[in-house]
Every structure is written in C-alpha cells, then in structure tokens.
Structure 1
Amino acid sequence: MKKILVAAVVAAVAAFIGHRFLKLKGIALASREVPVKHLNCHYLKHIEYGAEDITILRDGLAFLSTGLKFPGLPSFSDEPGKMYVMDLLHPKPTPVELQIKGDLDLNSFNPHGISTYTDEADDSVYLFVVNHPQQKSQVEIFHLVQENTLVHLKTITHPLLHSVDDIVAVGVESFYATNYKSFDNDALNTLAVFLGFPWCDVVYYSPKEVRVAANGFLSANGINISPEKRFIYVSDIMGHLIDVYERKEGEQLVHLKAVAVGSLCDNIDVDHKTGDVWLGCHPNGMKLSMYNPEDPPGSEIIRIKNIHSDQPVVSQEYVDDGHVLMASTVAAPYEGKLLIGTVFHKALICDLK
C-alpha cells in the first residue's frame, strides 16, 4: 500500500511539473510564428546595441536608453550603457550621445526604462532612468541643462524597488515603477514564475512615501501615462495584457480594465495627440530567451486605439521575423514618425504617413 501511495504521489508531481512546463511554453508563445508586416523604415545611426526604451517630449526631443545588459539575454558590447537624444523636427533626425555630468559611475551605467517630467513652473526637463549597475536596481534622476547634456541629481534605492523594469515620472522626484520579479531572491522568483503566482507589482515613490500601488501581475513590465495624466497603463508581459488604472487623489490607483494583446508586450508609449497606446512586443518569448542567430527573435509593434472604450481596437502595425529587427521593446510615435527600439539590436525610424 505504501509503495502504491508513493508511486501515486510521484506520478501526481510529475504530471503537475509537466503541466507547468506546458503552461510556461504557452505563456512564452513558444510555437507562435507571425507573418512579416513592414513599414517604410530605416536604421537609426549610432544605435548598434539596442535602444531598450524611448520617450519623446511634446517638442519632438526623443531620448533613448542604449546598451542594456540584462540577465539571460544577449549583449554584443562590453561598453557601459549610454543615453542618446535626437530632434524629430530636424529634417534628418540623428541620435547624439548625451553628455552626463555629476556624481554617477558611468563605467557601470546600465540604463533600462526611462521617463521624462517637465516642471510647469519653469519648463525644466527631468529625465528618470532605471539603472542596473552590477545588476542592482536603482533610479537615476537627471536635469536636462542643454539639448545634449544631463546633470545627475540623485540616485534612488529602496527595498520595494528590487527589480525595476520601467518607470513613469509624475513629479520632480516622484514616480511609479514596475517590478518584473516577485522577489529579489532569484530562487524564490524562479519558483514563483514556475508556479504561476501573480506576485509582481507597481511601486509608487515620492520623498515622503514609498508603497505598493498595484499588484497581481505575472511580470510587470512597461508603464506609461495618458496625455491628460489621468490614467496609468501597465504591461503584464507574461499575462499578455495591458492593465488600465485611474489615478485618484493621493496617487491611489484604481484598476479599470485589462486589454488582451496576444503578445509579450514590453514597453508602452502613448501618442500625445490621439492617446493611442503603442507597444513594443516579443512575438515569441522562447526565441528571445534561447537566442539563436540562425532563428532570431522577431519584433512586433501593436497599437491600441480607444483603449478606454468598451471595444478597444488592437492592431499589428509592424512585424519582422528578426532578420531586419530583433527583439523589439518599444514603439514611440511622434507627428507621423515611429521610433522602434530593441533590447540588444538596432533601432528603426519609420514613416507612418
């Protein structure tokens, strides 16, 4: 009887493990293939090792974080990460490396998600950058003092900001940030992922208060804000969802809805005129995590129109099989142009007109 019981337990555990592996393959969209759909695009100069995140000011000034080194993903350069800026109103927009001044170790600079905040009092522009020196998580705040110069003001660390992916600034020193892992401990996080526990969260930070603002994500990734600053959008990359929250008094977030996108969507950008939500996505997560140059990870750009309506319109705007662009992470629109960035590859500027 004892042997039968042990055998039954072993069989049940094996069945559960097998079921979880199949579930994880499904989450990774491991068997997904998508037909190519291109736009009129060309590569951006000087961007050879990824532009993981891109954000654009209303005057057309675009910021790009480049050279990210992320655990489990390829990196084709040993150089530290860099920040670039480009003027999209210029007849021939070209990225220019930003000069960084102040007390920051540039040798270990490893920029990830970024966001800008413009102080209405004096139109000062602040750039917030998620930084992973030695694979730690911290947030750097910079002041843009000239079109090509950043002055480092502050480094922010906190136990709740343990695995920050992306950030959206809502004040000179305040922001929402996503944690892509449930735990800082890798073993515990791997177990949480394997078991499918939705324990990732969004953290609100200000000098006076730090707290979890939203939770229940399999993996919280991109985050951004609507043009009128009323709504916050969060990408649950493993859930294939974009969650919509309303900002309330005291920076409380109220969940309104989740929009299915059918892909592993990374960063979020928002058209400042139309409010359309643009997503840089990974059509097949297995190809991304098991990088093979002979069968490279593809790129997929998704747009959501009327996200607050009862029937949001989700559409594919650009798709590539990885032979033009690998591992897209962000799609930032501006006045008929679209910038597409990647984890570790090149970046594109496309014409939407």
Structure 2
Amino acid sequence: MAAMQKLLISALVAALAVFVGHAFLKVKKLLLVNRELPMKPLNCHYLKNIEFGAEDITILRDGRAFLSTGLKYPGMPSFSDEPGKMYVLDLLHPKPAPVELKIKGELDLHAFNPHGISVYTDEADDSVYVFVVNHPNSKSQVEIFRFVEDETLVHLKTITHPLLHSVNDIVAVGPEHFYATNDHYFHSETPHFLTVILGLPLCDVVYYSPEEVRVAADGIQSGNGINISPDKRFIYVSDILDHDVDVFERQDGEHLLFIKSVAVGSLCDNIEVDHVTGDLWLGCHPNPLKLINFDPKDPPGSEVLRIKNIHSDQPVVTLEYGNDGHELMASTVAARYDGKLLIGTVFHKALSCVLK
C-alpha cells in the first residue's frame, strides 16, 4: 500500500513538473520572449491633450478622427484617477489638435472607461453614430452616441447582454448593429490562465442587433481588434495570442465564414482599415512581458504593422514603425489618413507621424 502511494505521488509530481515546464515554454512562446525588438523611426510629434493613452482611434473618410482615452484595464498600468474621455481631431485642419467631446445624456461619466470604438455614418441622413466599449466598475457594455455639432456626443443607448461579457473591440454595421470581440472566456484569473496555457480557443465574435444577439464566429483564443473591409464584405479579427489576423466573410443572417489567418509575428491589438487601399494597420505589442511587468526604466515598446493585399495568396506584412518604448510605450492602434499616421497606446501618449 505504501509503495502504491509513493508511486502515485511520484507520478503526480512528474505530471506537475511536465505541466509546469509546458506552461513555462508556452508563456515564452505567447509573449515572444526571445524576439528581437524591431526599430523603425518616423517623423512624429505627440498629440496635445493626450497624456494617459488613446487605446483606440478611428478616422472617417472626411478626416475626422475619434479617440478613446484613459482606459483602466486589469493588469495594465494606469497613471490617472480621472474617468476616461472621448476626443475628436480634424486632420484637415492646418494645425490639428484633439478636442475633448462633451457628452450629454444619461450616462455615468464618473465611471466612464472607454475601450474599443467604432463610427457608423448613416447614408440616409449622414448621421454619425459613435459606438464605445465601456467598462464602468469592471463591467462590459456598449454605449451608442450620436455625434452632433459643437463637438458633442449625445448618449442614445447602453447595451448589455450575457454574450457581451468581456468585450474588447467593436465594429458598427448599422445605427444599432455591430460585431464585437470577447477577449476572455473566464473572468477569474486561474481558469483564464489555464485556457491560455492549454491553447483553448474559447473566445468568439458576437453579432448584435435590436432583433437578435448571437455568436457569429468562435474558435478564437483571444479576440481583440475587429474591423471591416471598405466594401463591407469581410470582417477582420486580431487573435492577439495566436499572433495572427483572422479573415471572415459575412454571410446571410450575419454569420461569419472563416476564410484564413494571416500571421503577423507580434501581439497585435486594434485594426484600422485604409478607406482607399483596404490595407490593414495594426498597433502591436512587440515585448508584452515588459507591459505586464511595467518598469519605466525599461518600458514596453511599440510596433506598427501594415498588411497589404490581405485577400491575395501572398499578403505582405511590413513594419511601418518600431520603438523601444522611450518614445512611445505599448502601442495599441495605428490609423492612416492622407500621408499621416496616428498611433495610440494603452496608458501613455499618442503620436501623429508623417509617412514617408
């Protein structure tokens, strides 16, 4: 009996050692621990008024850029106790500078914690709707605003649903219609860590309309940025832990048909799509371990990637900006417009750069 107990204990210890070893190697692979940081400078300057991150940025065809700022996200640094804010920036202005948007309506601004954003223009009357992922008090919900003159957002609706349980980003496809990514399946850290270590693709993309809410695509390890092609036919999703961008085709009933994955070799966050060329622009985390274990003396770097011809047999992924964190820490988004590139971050500043 004693011998059996010793044998069982030995087997359990050996199994635990194997699991720990596997987990260690898996984490190193996920976090790209051995990857050399790419460097590529651009002619950039900091955007005024943006001191505590611009996690997401999106630009309309007319050159107006919307920015969500001040995100407080679990496990990430935060250097301000103030609520989050929304800004607008006119890139056609001779000296563009972000202007804080006034928010009107029934919304708790003291708990406003904006994350991913999307903008929808209704072609019927040119109304502009701004969709914002909001995490008040660690919750997950979507706010819909109408953008009106005098730099104002009028709050129209708050959307909550059990399927929208861990929303990261959003892409609007109608005045009250959108796709959203969930970046966690479990909210508790231990089961979430196990799903990551075991590589379980439990996350999904949810389609929301006033008539129905359902999973449009699943099998994603950690859904992050999401966006849509200029012809509205394809949806792009950044699976940040798989280091790739998934391409889906919209089907009848708003189902998403998986087409392919494009490897990007980095932990890419948000996706912006060039209105003219259809190129994808990605804000990425080249050394995420430094983001998790934040040290201002050895900061997390920033990386901007571009995907050309994503629907071809040979998409081209290129480095457009790379920095070791001393200029810009923890980039999350890159949005291009007419020779300019805006780069946002989780908690740091934001850059306006001139593309060569």
Q: How many residues align?
A: 353
For residues 66-85 of structure 1, the aligned pairs below 5 Å read 66-85=69-88
Between 4-13 and 133-142, the greater mean CA deviation after superposition? 4-13
Match of 1:204 in 2: 207
Between 337-346 and 142-151, the greater mean CA deviation after superposition? 142-151
**RMSD between aligned residues:** 1.0
For residues 203-242 of structure 1, the aligned pairs below 5 Å read 203-242=206-245
For residues 267-306 of structure 1, the aligned pairs below 5 Å read 267-306=270-309
- Alignment of 1:189 onto 2:192: yes
Which of 119, 128, 133 aligns to 1:130? It is 133
Match of 2:170 in 1: 167
TM-score, normalising length: structure 2: 0.97
For residues 247-262 of structure 1, the aligned pairs below 5 Å read 247-262=250-265
Amino acid at match of 2:258: H
Amino acid at match of 2:59: I
* In structure 2, C-alpha distance between the alignment counterparts of 1:119 and 1:66, rounded to whole Å: 25
Structure 2 SS opposite 1:250:
helix
Q: State whether residues 162 and 183 of structure 1, in contact with CA within 8 Å, keep that contact through their aligned partners in structure 2.
A: no
Q: State whether residues 26 and 197 of structure 2, in contact with CA within 8 Å, keep that contact through their aligned partners in structure 1.
A: no
Write the deviation string for residues 7-35 of structure 1: whole angstroms up to 9, x where unpaired.
Answer: 02311221112211211121011232313
* In structure 1, C-alpha distance between the alignment counterparts of 2:332 and 2:71, rounded to whole Å: 12
Structure 1 SS opposite 2:282:
strand
Unaligned runs of 5+ in 1: none
Which of 18, 22, 26 aligns to 1:23? It is 26
Match of 2:148 in 1: 145
TM-score, normalising length: structure 1: 0.98
Structure 1 SS opposite 2:174:
coil
Match of 2:120 in 1: 117
* Greater than 3 Å deviation, 4+ residue runs: 184-187
Amino acid at match of 1:173: E
Structure 2 SS opposite 1:170:
strand
- Alignment of 1:315 onto 2:318: yes
Match of 2:59 in 1: 56
Q: State whether residues 30 and 287 of structure 1, in contact with CA within 8 Å, keep that contact through their aligned partners in structure 2.
A: no
Structure 2 SS opposite 1:90:
coil
Structure 1 SS opposite 2:215:
strand
Amino acid at match of 2:300: P
Q: State whether residues 180 and 219 of structure 1, in contact with CA within 8 Å, keep that contact through their aligned partners in structure 2.
A: yes
Identity of aligned residues (%): 73
Amino acid at match of 2:321: Y
Per-residue deviation at 1:280?
0.1
Which of 302, 324, 329 aligns to 2:327? It is 324
Unaligned runs of 5+ in 2: none
* In structure 2, C-alpha distance between the alignment counterparts of 1:191 and 1:157, rounded to whole Å: 27
* In structure 2, C-alpha distance between the alignment counterparts of 1:40 and 1:308, rounded to whole Å: 30
